[in-house]
Structure 1
Amino acid sequence: MGLPATMEDPIQVIDKKSKKSKKAKKSKKEKKDKTSETASKPVTEALTETVEEVEIKEKKVKKDKKDKKKSKEDKKKRTHDDTTDGTPASTDASSSGGRVVEMMTKKAKTESSGGAGRDFYKLASTLENATQAEIKAYRQERTMALENVPVDIRPIRTWDEASDSVDAKLLSYCRQFPSPTPIQAQAWPVCLRGLDMVGVARTGSGKTVAFGVPSMVHIAAQPKLGQRPADRGPIVLVVAPTRELACQINEVYVELGAKVGVKSVCIYGGVPKYEQKNMLKGGAHVIVATPGRLLGLMDEGDLSLKRVSYLILDEADRMLDMGFEPDMRRIVEAIPTANNRQTVMFSATWPKEIRELAGEFMKNPAKVTIGSDDLQATTSVTQVVEVIDRNEKDKKLTALMKKHHNGKNRILIFVLYKKEAPRVERFLQQKGYKCGAVHGDLNQYQRTEAVDKFKDAKQPILVATDVCARGLDIPDVEVVINYSFPLTVEDYVHRIGRTGRGTKSGHAHTFFTINDKTLAGPLCDVLREAGSEVPDALTAFGYAPTKKKEHAMYGAHFKKDDDMPTKAAVKMRFD
């Protein structure tokens, strides 16, 4: 049966469709290839351009480096021509000194700045124009020794030279003194730069003002205190070993704070906590504290150190002697590292233990030493050592009182044991002298009252144990009498340091008996270093080296040598 004329053969239809489909696919493929070829051309060109640009940039960088290197060499050559061994080569010393400082300032500030918002040091024009020789002579005259102190930091020789860095109101407090003491002159610019610092200076050298004024400048640059417990402060924390020293430091801060609206609170043990807690509730910029009470209030949640950015450890060597090292570590650990803390440490000596502590607590600290790292008596005190029989002490004391006391001048008498203090006090009162005492058997109120009466000269004679041997800053103590020799020569030096403070002179008279003979040799050394007379009766005891005490609680016990082998402990049992 044939197909109608209008209908096509199905096989032919399928062939046509197949051919048409193949043709369409071929056309589509050709169009795609063409598009791809067109698109790839600009990409290739763009890539070529990028490579060329990179080559140009590399050439430019190499050229810049070359120019920079050449510029640095030229600058170095000019600096070498201008200076020789750190001193100006030009005959115009004043002009050259200024150029040297100007060249060194930028580099020193970049390398040694204490951090953002902490550099308040501005070099006075008189210091900028001073020659290196003048600055060197000033330091040598005041026996200053510096380590790790930037070259552009120069000592502030007059109060006017600090006027660009320190508030005029703070300086008005300082102007009651004729000029900065050596430790103040060099510590101020170091602390104002924002650097960590170790200050080694004898007692009575003006250390409180040395760290107090720069810390006040630091406070002024910080955000204001807030109402939340963590925002109430303190910003500055001062830690001191004894209640007496803490109170005296706080007195200076109260006077300075009154000038610029800064609140200071003193916290210490021996008195009820509730009064100190109430003072803390209102917030404080500065807290001066002894370690034990400080940690106690922290543990009870009444005090936070989250705002502290300026830490001062005063008489650090004394705190180690008294066994406060674990407490000091806890205090430092409680200050957030994010605060970028500035730490200032003062010590009368620079033993290995203090060096290790500074290495742990401080960042690349500058060190300022006035005098010697070793403990030595000041030359402003006339020292007299009298070798006597111990039964002669009362008789000799009576003779000294007649010789040195005029009824008004202050005399400080040191005894060794707290039971001795009230006995000597009663002995002198029976002789008609106005006398008080401070010792460990008295509560804090009684101790404070006795010290205040001594300061006011209501009781111009004070008998004290070594609890007052360091830190007491009482002006115009004319005479110190060592009724009993202390357990160490270190304590002897700190005792006699209560007189001859600042620029004043003083007198120290010491009773030495056969019971003290093991300390005869070291005492002779101290007397010779100070240029004092060494009695023949003292040298007759010979030289018996003694070791320093580690802890005040146990007296002069032996300190373990680093290279000395230790014997293992043996456990003993008792049946």
Structure 2
Amino acid sequence: MDGIDVSDMSQALMESAGNETTKSTEAANVAREKGWVAPEGYDYNKYTSVAPPVQPEGEGDDALPEWAGKAAKYEWKDEFGDVGPQNTELEEMLFRNDYINRTGLKIGNLQNIEVIAESRERPNPVKSFDDAGLHPIVRENIRLCCYELPTPIQAYCIPAVLTGHDLIAIAQTGSGKTAAFLIPVLSQLMGKAKKLAAPRPNVAAGYDPSLDAVRAEPLVLIVAPTRELSTQIFDEARRLCYRSMLRPCVVYGGAPTRDQREELQRGCDILIATPGRLLDFMDKPHILSLRRVKYTIIDEADELLDADWETDFNKIMSGGDINEDADHRYMMFSATFNKECRQLARKFLADDHVRVRIGRPGSTHVNVDQSIVYAEPHLKKQALYDLLLSMPPSRTLIFVNSKSQADFLDDYLFNMGLPSTSIHSDRTQREREDALRAFKTAKCPILVATGVSARGLDIKNVMHVINFDLPSASHGGINEYIHRIGRTARIGNEGLATSFYEEGKNAELAPDLVKILLESKQKIPDFLESYRPADNLVTFDDDTDDEKENEGTTADDDGAWGGIPMGEPDEAPVANPNWDF
């Protein structure tokens, strides 16, 4: 039998490959003309080498990336007294870094949001940080952070914490929740740190692990659902603990346990953790004890309460109950928080807890310009490419619903000459941290992500969020949409959110999507007009209107107290005259 002639097929394949190369070259040239930087190739050797490569002098960016949890912090010396001296080099890194998000010009829009706060006792909101009765070092660190005025969530949470209340706080994305719990908690502890803190080695004067290691006994436990959010909270804690003896640490999955254990054994006052790694260390009482914990704070609490975490959540929350004093305070923060989650949360909260709502739970703010674009499934990749080239180059976060889709889309954009990278849970922790670092530094200003990045990430100058895939009900639905688009327009900045809508596939999301657009006064596209409610009357089934029962409020009205102007200045907390400074 004669052999089969495949020469024509071979020629066709060669021509096809040649055409693809030409097409990619042309696309890359167009991307350069539009102002996008050239994409960087993936260096596999960086992550597969057995030992870290030696860092060349002056070429730190090319070496194996450092773990986020080992970032420099202020190390206390016993001879410092009550307040540590300035460290100019560390101060420059902590407060004047080019990649720190700054307050935007539209911060006033956050100040105008309706505020509802409910409790038996109603602490008056603070109008300025100077009136809040904060420890002088915390106040100075706030100034270094360039925080000029409290956002609404901060204005209400600071006095609630300073007056000793448990707290549920629900506020829009990008409204300053992290500082809202760190500022009052650290202020309360700074004046008493020497009395309350566990013994620790004098790290700054030299440290020998075999002789000086101690058991970590934190005063504050902060739990966050994602690794990226936990390291972000750690960065904020490093800033606000500057020049104090309070020492923050972070533990999270994916990074070496040994490194994190060594950090804990140097002493830890503020522990930020993801649930899995925290539970691991809780099972090792010679490394970590929660007996001194004064404050337990759950960030993005609905994620932990809603994701089959109830058993582990109960273990984490009860872990601090072994502390020797009856002064343990619990706080829970999120942008979305349904009634079932709040009912579970109240099992741990005191009866006189304060519940603060900034705007409607699950709402977006007007600083995000939302646009919904109809897209055929087979044309979405081309539509994404055209959208990216039609706008000035800027940090762009693209969300998809699956890890495989994140990889495919990253490859597509890279091959089209665009500087992209991707992040999802199948990536190693070192790859995830490196991808975020490349995104922050604009080496790769396009980041393709799954929902792992939707929670709490605060990255400077994210101008555009694109929902390549709108979240389905199984991927969090409208709550996930809120968290995703909240990655732009942070703390008073403006941003754009574009979502690709597929007929049929996204129909279940359409009614809630239209309500969100109407609530934030956005344009409703023609293909969603059929979902517009009658008389444009927007109502949300968010379980918040019937909460007076079991809330413990004693108000004659609806329990609401609204607006920053409420309360007289002389009713604000006063600075403690016994502060050690």
Shorter-chain TM range is 0.5 to 0.7
Residue of structure 1 in register with 2:488 after alignment? 499
Whichever residue aligns with residue 372 of structure 1, its letter is R
Question: What per-residue deviation string (whole Å, max 9, x for no partner) do you get for residues 48-97 of structure 1?
Answer: xxxxxxxxxxxxxxxxxxxxxxxxxxxxxxxxxxxxxxxxxxxxxxxxxx
Whichever residue aligns with residue 294 of structure 1, its letter is L
Would you say the 8 A contact 2:215–2:288 is kept in 1? no
Residue of structure 2 in register with 1:63 after alignment? none
Residue 112 (structure 2) pairs with residue 144 (structure 1): no
- C-alpha distance in structure 2 between counterparts of 1:311 and 1:147, whole Å: 21
Question: What per-residue deviation string (whole Å, max 9, x for no partner) do you get for residues 367-395 of structure 1?
Answer: 1111113x122211111101221111112
Residue of structure 1 in register with 2:87 after alignment? none
Structure of higher CA gyration radius: 1
Pairwise CA distance, 1:197: 1.1
Whichever residue aligns with residue 319 of structure 1, its letter is L
Pairwise CA distance, 1:355: 1.8
- C-alpha distance in structure 2 between counterparts of 1:230 and 1:219, whole Å: 21
Residue of structure 2 in register with 1:516 after alignment? 506
Q: Which moved more, 1:528-537 or 1:229-238?
A: 229-238
Whichever residue aligns with residue 256 of structure 1, its letter is L
Pairwise CA distance, 1:349: 2.4
Kindly tell me: are residues 200 and 428 of structure 1, through their superposed partners in 2, closer, same or farther at Cα, counting changes over 3 Å? same
Superposition pairs of residues 409-424 of structure 1, within 5 angstroms: 409-424=394-409
Residue 520 (structure 2) pairs with residue 533 (structure 1): no
Pairwise CA distance, 1:317: 0.6
Q: CA RMSD in A?
A: 2.4
Whichever residue aligns with residue 474 of structure 1, its letter is I
Whichever residue aligns with residue 381 of structure 2, its letter is D
Pairwise CA distance, 1:208: 0.8
Q: 1:445 aligns with which of 417, 430, 435?
A: 430
Residue 354 (structure 2) pairs with residue 366 (structure 1): yes
Whichever residue aligns with residue 147 of structure 1, its letter is E
Would you say the 8 A contact 2:227–2:274 is kept in 1? yes
Pairwise CA distance, 1:416: 0.8
Residue 233 (structure 2) pairs with residue 249 (structure 1): yes
Superposition pairs of residues 157-556 of structure 1, within 5 angstroms: 157-162=127-132, 164-174=133-143, 176-220=146-190, 221-222=192-193, 223-226=196-199, 232-301=216-285, 302-335=287-320, 336=322, 338-339=324-325, 340-363=327-350, 364-373=352-361, 375-406=362-393, 409-487=394-472, 488-514=477-503, 515-540=505-530
Pairwise CA distance, 1:225: 1.7
Pairwise CA distance, 1:143: 1.4
- C-alpha distance in structure 2 between counterparts of 1:231 and 1:413, whole Å: 42
Q: Secondary structure at the match of 2:372?
A: strand
Would you say the 8 A contact 1:230–1:304 is kept in 2? no
Report 1 or 2 for greater relative contact order, CA contacts < 8 Å, sequence distance ≥ 6. Answer: 2
- C-alpha distance in structure 2 between counterparts of 1:253 and 1:154, whole Å: 25
Q: Secondary structure at the match of 2:172?
A: coil
Residue 120 (structure 2) pairs with residue 155 (structure 1): no
Pairwise CA distance, 1:214: 1.2
Question: What per-residue deviation string (whole Å, max 9, x for no partner) do you get for residues 302-335 of structure 1?
Answer: 2111110111011101112332221111012221
- C-alpha distance in structure 1 between counterparts of 2:408 and 2:367, whole Å: 31
Would you say the 8 A contact 2:373–2:499 is kept in 1? yes
Residue of structure 1 in register with 2:98 after alignment? none
Q: Secondary structure at the match of 1:480?
A: strand
Would you say the 8 A contact 2:372–2:501 is kept in 1? yes
Would you say the 8 A contact 2:128–2:149 is kept in 1? yes
Q: Secondary structure at the match of 2:243?
A: helix
Pairwise CA distance, 1:172: 3.3
Would you say the 8 A contact 1:170–1:260 is kept in 2? no
- C-alpha distance in structure 1 between counterparts of 2:125 and 2:390, whole Å: 42
Q: Secondary structure at the match of 2:379?
A: helix
**TM-score normalised by the chain length of structure 1:** 0.67
Q: Which moved more, 1:428-437 or 1:415-424?
A: 428-437
Whichever residue aligns with residue 279 of structure 1, its letter is E
Whichever residue aligns with residue 115 of structure 2, its letter is M
Question: What per-residue deviation string (whole Å, max 9, x for no partner) do you get for residues 27-51 of structure 1?
Answer: xxxxxxxxxxxxxxxxxxxxxxxxx
Pairwise CA distance, 1:537: 1.0
Pairwise CA distance, 1:219: 2.2
Whichever residue aligns with residue 520 of structure 1, its letter is A
Question: What per-residue deviation string (whole Å, max 9, x for no partner) do you get for residues 339-380 of structure 1?
Answer: 32011111212312222123211102111111113x122211
Kindly tell me: are residues 532 and 425 of structure 1, through their superposed partners in 2, closer, same or farther at Cα, counting changes over 3 Å? same
Whichever residue aligns with residue 527 of structure 2, its letter is A
Q: Secondary structure at the match of 1:357?
A: helix
Question: What per-residue deviation string (whole Å, max 9, x for no partner) do you get for residues 397-416 of structure 1?
Answer: 1111112232xx21111111
Kindly tell me: are residues 202 and 439 of structure 1, through their superposed partners in 2, closer, same or farther at Cα, counting changes over 3 Å? same
**TM-score normalised by the chain length of structure 2:** 0.66
Whichever residue aligns with residue 271 of structure 1, its letter is A
Q: Secondary structure at the match of 1:258?
A: coil
Residue of structure 2 in register with 1:566 after alignment? none
Q: Secondary structure at the match of 1:522?
A: helix
- C-alpha distance in structure 1 between counterparts of 2:324 and 2:265, whole Å: 24
Pairwise CA distance, 1:224: 3.0
Would you say the 8 A contact 2:293–2:323 is kept in 1? no
Would you say the 8 A contact 2:424–2:450 is kept in 1? yes
Structure 2 gaps, min length 5: 1-108, 201-211, 534-539, 542-581
- C-alpha distance in structure 2 between counterparts of 1:231 and 1:225, whole Å: 9
Q: Secondary structure at the match of 2:337?
A: coil
Pairwise CA distance, 1:287: 0.4
Residue of structure 2 in register with 1:85 after alignment? none
- C-alpha distance in structure 2 between counterparts of 1:251 and 1:139, whole Å: 24
Length, aligned pairs only: 404
Whichever residue aligns with residue 284 of structure 1, its letter is C
- Percent same amino acid among aligned pairs? 36
- C-alpha distance in structure 2 between counterparts of 1:250 and 1:388, whole Å: 40
Question: What per-residue deviation string (whole Å, max 9, x for no partner) do you get for residues 408-441 of structure 1?
Answer: x211111111001111111111222211110122
Whichever residue aligns with residue 367 of structure 1, its letter is R
- C-alpha distance in structure 1 between counterparts of 2:458 and 2:495, whole Å: 14
Pairwise CA distance, 1:272: 2.1
Pairwise CA distance, 1:262: 1.6
Would you say the 8 A contact 2:197–2:218 is kept in 1? no
Pairwise CA distance, 1:494: 0.9
Structure 1 gaps, min length 5: 1-137, 549-575
Kindly tell me: are residues 381 and 154 of structure 1, through their superposed partners in 2, closer, same or farther at Cα, counting changes over 3 Å? same
Q: Secondary structure at the match of 1:260?
A: coil
Would you say the 8 A contact 2:367–2:495 is kept in 1? yes
